[in-house]
C-alpha cells in the first residue's frame, strides 16, 4: 500500500486540482486593503463582464454564492408551498434540499442508464409543476443530456414552468452534441442556466457563480436574494478569471488528459465506470464504503456513493497526474 508519509490526496469533492490563476491571486492581493468596504451589492461590473462574454445584457445575469445559492433562490422565487418541482435521482443533493426548504413537493424521476429520462420527466408534468431541475453534466454520474433531447423536451414544456439547467461542469464537456443552452435564453424560453467558477476556474473557496435567464426570470431571483450575497474578493477574482483564457485552457486540458488516463487504467484493471463529461468518474467497486476506507488508509480520499443509493460505487475526482497515478496504484492493489 501507499506510504503513510505521503501527503493526503483529496479526490472527493470535484474540485480543480490547480491553484488559482496567478492573475487572480495578484488581483485579490491588490484589494486586500479595501476589505473595510462593502462589495457592490449588485455586482454591476462583474455582471457586465459576464454579459459581454456571453453576448447578452447585464439584466440577463444574476450573481450567487456559488450555483447552490442560485438553486435556492430559484426554488424560493418560483415555488409556492405545495407546488411541484421535477428533479432527477441520483443528482446533486441541493436539487432536493432547496425544494424541501421552499416547502415544495418533489417529483423524483429515476435516471435511466445513469442519464436523465426526459421522456418520463415530461410525463410527470402537471398544472401544479412550476420548476424542473436538470444538471448537465449530472453529478454524480457525469452523463449529459444531448442537444436534440433537450431541444425536444423544452419544446414541450409549458411556458409557466421554469427549467433550471445546472451547468456547473460545463467547461469540461468535450462531447460535440452538448446543448448550446444560452440559445434557449436568446429564444425567450423560460430557462435558467447556472454556471460556476468553483470548478474549471479553480475558485471553489470563494463561492461565486452566476445564473443566466430572461430579464423577468432574473428580476424575480434578484428580488429574492440578499444584498451583498457575493463578496468583494469573489467579484474581483471572477472578473479576472473570466478573462484568463490561458488558465482555463490549461485547466480543461489537465482534466481531459486526466480523465482519459483514469479510463484507460480502469479498463486495464477491468473495473467498470460510467463515461463522464465532467471532472470525475463514477466507478463500480462492489462495496463503495469498504473501498473508500481502504483508499483512505492509503492517504487517498474519494466519495462513497451510498448516500446516492449507489452502494457499489465510488466517485473519484480527476486530480494532478501524480494524484491520478496514486489512486490507480492503490485501487489496483485493492481490487487484486
- At 310 the pLDDT is 98
- List pLDDT tens digits, range 209-250: 999 999 999 999 999 999 999 999 999 999 999 999 999 999
Q: How confident is the model at residue 5 (pLDDT cuts 50, 70, 90)?
A: low
Q: What is the pLDDT of residue 2?
A: 44
210, 241, 272 - which closes a domain = 241
108 lies in the same domain as 186: yes
At 126, which CATH number?
Answer: 3.40.640.10
Q: What are phi and psi of 209, to 5 degrees?
A: -145, 180
Whether the predicted pLDDT of 3 surpasses 70 = no
| Domain assignment present for 261 | yes
Strand order in the sheet with 303-304: 273-274, 280-284, 313-317, 303-304
Residue 192 lies in a domain: yes
Is the same domain home to 105 and 226?
yes
* Phi, psi for 269 (deg, rounded to 5): -80, -5
100 and 188, same domain (yes or no): yes
Q: What is the domain extent for residue 13?
A: 9-19+246-335
One domain for residues 206 and 324: no
- Assess whether 13 and 32 both reside in one domain: no
Q: What is the pLDDT of residues 44-62, one digit of tens each?
A: 999 999 999 999 999 999 9
pLDDT of the residue at 6: 80
pLDDT at 232: 98
Single out the residue in 202, 222, 241 at which a domain terminates: 241
Write down the pTM of the prediction.
0.96
Mean pLDDT of the chain: 97
Please check whether residues 46 and 158 belong to one and the same domain: yes
Q: Does the residue 107 lie in any domain?
A: yes
Does one domain contain both 39 and 98? yes
Residues 145 and 236 in one domain: yes
The CATH number for 277's domain is: 3.90.1150.10
Burial 236-273, CB ≥16 within 10 A → b, else e: bbbbbbbebeebbeebbebbeebbeebeebbeeeebeb
307 — phi, psi (to 5°)?
-70, -20
Q: Is residue 4 part of a domain?
A: no
Helix residue ranges, H only, the chain: 22-30, 44-54, 66-78, 94-101, 118-123, 147-156, 181-186, 215-224, 232-241, 245-269, 288-297, 321-335
Report how many domains make up the chain.
Answer: 2
141: cell is 454520474
Containing 317, the helix (H) or strand (E) segment is strand 313-317
Amino acid at each position: 500500500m501507499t506510504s503513510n508519509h505521503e501527503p493526503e490526496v483529496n479526490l472527493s469533492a470535484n474540485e480543480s486540482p490547480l491553484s488559482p490563476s496567478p492573475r487572480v491571486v495578484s488581483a485579490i492581493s491588490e484589494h486586500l486593503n479595501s476589505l473595510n468596504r462593502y462589495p457592490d451589492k449588485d455586482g454591476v461590473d462583474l455582471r457586465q463582464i459576464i454579459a459581454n462574454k456571453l453576448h447578452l445584457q447585464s439584466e440577463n445575469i444574476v450573481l450567487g454564492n456559488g450555483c447552490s445559492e442560485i438553486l435556492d433562490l430559484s426554488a424560493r422565487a418560483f415555488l409556492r408551498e405545495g407546488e411541484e418541482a421535477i428533479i432527477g435521482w441520483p443528482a446533486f443533493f441541493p436539487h432536493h434540499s432547496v425544494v424541501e426548504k421552499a416547502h415544495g413537493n418533489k417529483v423524483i424521476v429515476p435516471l435511466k442508464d445513469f442519464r436523465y429520462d426526459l421522456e418520463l420527466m415530461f410525463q410527470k408534468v402537471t398544472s401544479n409543476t412550476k420548476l424542473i431541475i436538470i444538471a448537465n453534466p449530472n453529478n454524480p454520474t457525469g452523463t449529459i443530456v444531448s442537444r436534440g433531447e433537450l431541444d425536444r423536451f423544452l419544446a414541450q414544456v409549458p411556458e409557466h414552468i421554469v427549467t433550471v439547467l445546472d451547468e456547473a461542469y460545463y467547461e469540461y464537456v468535450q462531447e460535440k452534441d452538448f446543448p448550446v443552452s444560452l440559445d434557449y435564453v436568446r429564444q425567450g424560453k423560460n430557462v435558467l442556466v447556472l454556471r460556476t467558477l468553483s470548478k474549471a476556474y479553480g475558485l471553489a473557496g470563494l463561492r461565486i457563480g452566476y445564473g443566466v435567464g430572461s430579464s423577468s426570470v432574473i428580476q424575480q431571483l434578484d428580488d429574492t436574494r440578499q444584498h451583498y450575497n457575493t463578496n468583494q474578493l469573489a467579484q474581483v477574482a471572477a472578473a479576472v478569471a473570466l478573462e484568463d483564457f490561458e488558465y482555463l485552457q490549461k485547466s480543461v486540458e489537465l482534466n481531459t488528459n486526466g480523465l482519459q488516463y483514469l479510463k484507460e487504467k480502469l479498463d486495464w484493471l477491468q473495473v467498470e465506470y460510467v463515461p463522464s463529461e465532467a471532472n470525475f468518474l463514477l466507478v463500480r467497486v462492489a462495496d463503495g464504503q469498504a473501498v473508500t476506507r481502504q483508499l483512505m488508509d492509503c492517504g487517498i480520499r474519494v466519495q462513497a456513493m451510498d448516500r446516492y443509493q449507489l452502494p457499489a460505487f465510488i466517485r473519484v475526482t480527476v486530480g494532478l497526474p501524480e494524484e491520478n497515478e496514486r489512486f490507480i496504484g492503490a485501487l489496483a492493489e485493492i481490487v487484486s
